[in-house]
Amino acid sequence: MSEPTGYVDVRAYAELNDFVDAERRGLTVRRPFRSHQTVKDVLEAMGIPHTEVDLILVNGSPQGFGHRPSAGDRIAAYPMFEALDIAPASRLRPVPLRNPRFVVDVNLGRLARLLRVLGFDVWWSNNADDPTLADVSLGQQRILLTRDRGLLKRRAITHGLFVHSQEPEEQTLEVVRRLDLRQRLAPFTRCMCCNGTLAAVPKDEVIDQLEPLTARYYQKFSRCADCGRIYWAGSHHARLVSLVERLRGQL
C-alpha cells in the first residue's frame, strides 16, 4: 500500500460520534489520506456513513463530499437534522424530502409496521436485498432506514438514517424525532399489510366479506385502495389506539 499523501484533523459532532471508536468520541482525530481520496472517503474510513452527515466544514468553510483535502486541513462533520442554524452554509442533501417516505431494511419489519400505523408511506419487503433497497431509495426518493452502516455508505443513497435503537417503539420515536415529524402523524390512514391508503367504505359494499359477528356489531369500515383489505374498530383497534397514544405521549 502506498504511503499517505498527508494527514488531516477530523472532528465529528453530536450523534456522529456514535460511529467513531469509543476512545476517540468528541475528540479531534488525526487521519491519513491519499491524493485520490475525498472528504467523504476520509469520513467513511472512520466509520461515519455519508447519509448521516449534513454539513462539512474544511478550515471553517462549507464543502461538498467531493472536496479533496490538503495536508493539515481541519475537517468538522455535523450530523443530519442537527438542531443548528446552518442556513448560511451549504447542506449536503441534494434536495429536502418535503413529504417523507421511507424504505425500511428487511430486519426492521416491526418499525415499518409502526410507521404505517402512524400514517407514513413505508416500502418494506421481507426478502429485499441491499441493491433493491438502494434502488428503491433512489428511484422513489425514499429515506432508507437501516441498522447496516455499510448499506448507508453506498454512493447511490442520498437520504438515509442509521437507526440506533434495537427496540421497535424506540426506533419509531427516534425516526419521528430526528426528522421532526410530530405534526405529520396521521394514524390509521394506511394499510399495515401493503402500505396502501385507507378510505371509508359503506357497510353494504363489504358486508359479503365480513364474518357474521363483525357484520352484526360494527357499522363503520375502511378499505385499502390497493389490496382491498377491510378494517374496522374491533378489539385489535383499541390496542393500536393505546399504542398511538403512548407514542404521542413520549413525543
CB distance 97 to 103 below 8 Å = no
Whether residues 17 and 68 fall in one domain:
yes
The answer to whether position 32 is within a domain reads yes
Q: What is the pLDDT of residues 18-75, one digit of tens each?
A: 888 888 888 999 999 999 999 999 999 999 999 888 889 999 899 999 999 999 999 9
Give the end of a domain, one of 79, 109, 127: 79
Pairing outcome for strands 198-201 and 221-224: antiparallel
Which amino acid, residue 197? T
Whether residues 206 and 177 fall in one domain:
no
User: What total of structural domains would you count in the chain?
Assistant: 3
pLDDT for 236: 84
Whether residues 112 and 74 fall in one domain:
no
pLDDT for 84: 40
Whether residues 175 and 227 fall in one domain:
no
pLDDT for 179: 86
Q: Which residue has the cell 359479503?
A: 208
Whether residues 20 and 68 fall in one domain:
yes
What is the three-state SS of 119-168?
Answer: CCEEEECCCCCHHHHHHHHHHCCCEEEECCHHHHCCCCCCCEEECCCCCH
Whether residues 132 and 170 fall in one domain:
yes
The answer to whether position 204 is within a domain reads yes
pLDDT for 153: 87
The answer to whether position 192 is within a domain reads no
Range of the domain at 50: 6-79
The answer to whether position 73 is within a domain reads yes
Provide CB contacts within 8 A for 139, sequence distance 6+.
none
Whether residues 170 and 207 fall in one domain:
no
The answer to whether position 52 is within a domain reads yes
CA dist., res. 48 & res. 193, Å (int): 34
The answer to whether position 234 is within a domain reads yes
Whether residues 157 and 107 fall in one domain:
yes
Whether residues 166 and 227 fall in one domain:
no
Q: What is the pTM of this model?
A: 0.73
From the list 66, 76, 55, 67, the residue with the least C-alpha distance to 11 is 76
Q: Supply the CATH number for residue 22's domain.
A: 3.10.20.30
pLDDT for 91: 56
Whether residues 71 and 13 fall in one domain:
yes
Q: Mean pLDDT in runs of 10 for the chain (251 residues)?
A: 83 88 88 93 92 90 92 90 47 59 96 96 96 93 92 86 94 92 92 95 92 90 94 88 92 84
pLDDT for 83: 41
The answer to whether position 180 is within a domain reads yes
The answer to whether position 190 is within a domain reads no
